Structure 1
Amino acid sequence: MRRLLDRFYLGCMILSCMSIVFIVAVVFIQVLLNMADAVASAVGLPGLGIMIPSYSMFAGYGLAAATFLALGPALRQGAHIRVTLIYGQLSQPVRRLAFVLIASAGTIVGALITWSLLSMTYESWAFGDKSSGLVSISLWIPQSVLCFGAFSFLIACADLLIESVTIGQSASFDETLFDEAST
């Protein structure tokens, strides 16, 4: 099961990275087109007038996808910000209890976010909501990517919770960091 979950997190991270590459490509191409127009007008030629329709909307969808798809893998890798000032001063049994409570809260929040996004995506699909840009796309398409990313966060939180309850710690949670902090 661990191997399957790790591959799931890796797949989400790859999709997140692909979203970043998509954003860079779209914006870079649009900047090149704008520069071509500026150069043409500087030398007295008519501008090309070529643009990527709704490129800012596509970049925004890419940013949302990259952010949400990275939530679960980042949590598993320990990349989220952790406040260790108080946590490092707690005794080992209290640390474990605190970690279980925090992982439980994360799982609940992840479930609520996933449910809310699923509900919003279903409504967008049911009502046929479309984007308002030059290129009109169904909103449920980018929203479904957000749902998948929130689901990956939910799975990662539940994974941390199960690990912390069953084996007492998580592979993504470095206990040595806190042992050094308390000395």
Structure 2
Amino acid sequence: MLTRVLDILYRGAGVLAGVFLVAIAVIVASQIVARLMGKIVPSADEFAGFCLAATSFLGLAFAFREGSHIRVTLFVHAARGWLRQVFLVVALAIAATIMGIFAWHTLKMVGQNLMRNEVTSGLIPMPLWLPQAGMAIGVLLFFIAILEDLVRALLGKSPVFTTGESDPRGSDNPAADTH
């Protein structure tokens, strides 16, 4: 049940990442048209940058769950049985620790900017926490996705991210396990 709810959240964040990607294209296209007409779109570069950050971070958890992240799986795929599970647990524990620290500090930064009423420095000032929120939400969801797979691995189950990858050896693929 929890996995389904989280999958909906990850998929929703992935859709939002796509929306921000389209927004980048719209901003760039409008800036090109404006320049052809001798005009500018105020803060276009800044807003495109905000959209890029939102796209990048909101897509993390969805890409992780789909097995789309680039991972070095040399040791995991070379190992068999319990050693393979140990490698998975260690890798996921390290990733969860790093992303947990990153999520904590990112959420703290957004909260501080919200409390201080900080604004962007571009031609069109906007509350700084607003563009930072996409990053914070994306990092938090990525941390939760890694943590969920860590718990699955600790329980001896296959992490969900393995369903999107293929094992070069074939038969000993953890993705073949049911979850």
Question: Above 0.5 in TM-score?
Answer: yes
2:103 corresponds to 1:78: no
Tell me: CA distance 1:162–1:30, structure 2 relative to 1, closer, same or farther (3 Å). same
Contact 1:103 1:157 (8 Å CA) reproduced:
yes
Counterparts of 2:61 and 2:16, CA distance in 1:
12
Structure-2 residue corresponding to 1:41: none
Structure 1 unmatched ranges of 5 or more? 38-49
Task: Name which one, 1 or 2, has greater alpha-carbon Rg.
Answer: 1
Partners of 2:144 and 2:47 lie apart in 1 by 27
Q: Output the aligned Cα RMSD.
A: 1.8
1:121-158 Cα offsets, whole Å, 9 max, x none, are 12212222211110011111111221111111011101
Sequence identity of aligned pairs in percent? Answer: 28
Q: Following TM superposition, by how much is the alpha carbon of 1:177 offset from its aligned partner in structure 2, in angstroms?
A: 0.7
The count of residues paired between Structure 1 and Structure 2 equals 170
Q: Does 1:14 align with 2:15?
A: yes
After TM superposition, the score normalised by the length of structure 2 is 0.87
Q: Are 1:173 and 2:153 counterparts? A: no
What pairs up with 1:78-157 in 2 under 5 angstroms?
Answer: 78-157=67-146
- The structural deviation recorded for 1:80 is 0.8
In the other structure, the counterpart of 1:40 is none
**Contact 1:17 1:66 survives alignment (8 Å):** yes
| Deviation readout 1:46-83 (Å, 9 max, x if unpaired) | xxxx3211000000000000001011111111111111
Q: Is the 8 A contact 1:84 1:178 kept in 2?
A: no
Question: Could you tell me whether the CA contact under 8 Å between 1:99 and 1:164 is conserved in 2?
Answer: yes
Kindly indicate whether the alpha-carbon contact (under 8 Å) linking 2:61 and 2:141 is maintained by their aligned counterparts in 1: yes
With the length of structure 1 as denominator, give the TM-score of the two structures: 0.86
Specify every segment of 5 or more residues in structure 2 that has no aligned partner in the other structure, as ranges.
Answer: 173-179
SS of corresponding position for 1:131:
coil
Kindly indicate whether the alpha-carbon contact (under 8 Å) linking 1:12 and 1:149 is maintained by their aligned counterparts in 2: yes
Structure 1 position 167, deviation (Å): 4.1
Moved over 6 A (4+): none
What's the counterpart of residue 26 of structure 2? Answer: 25
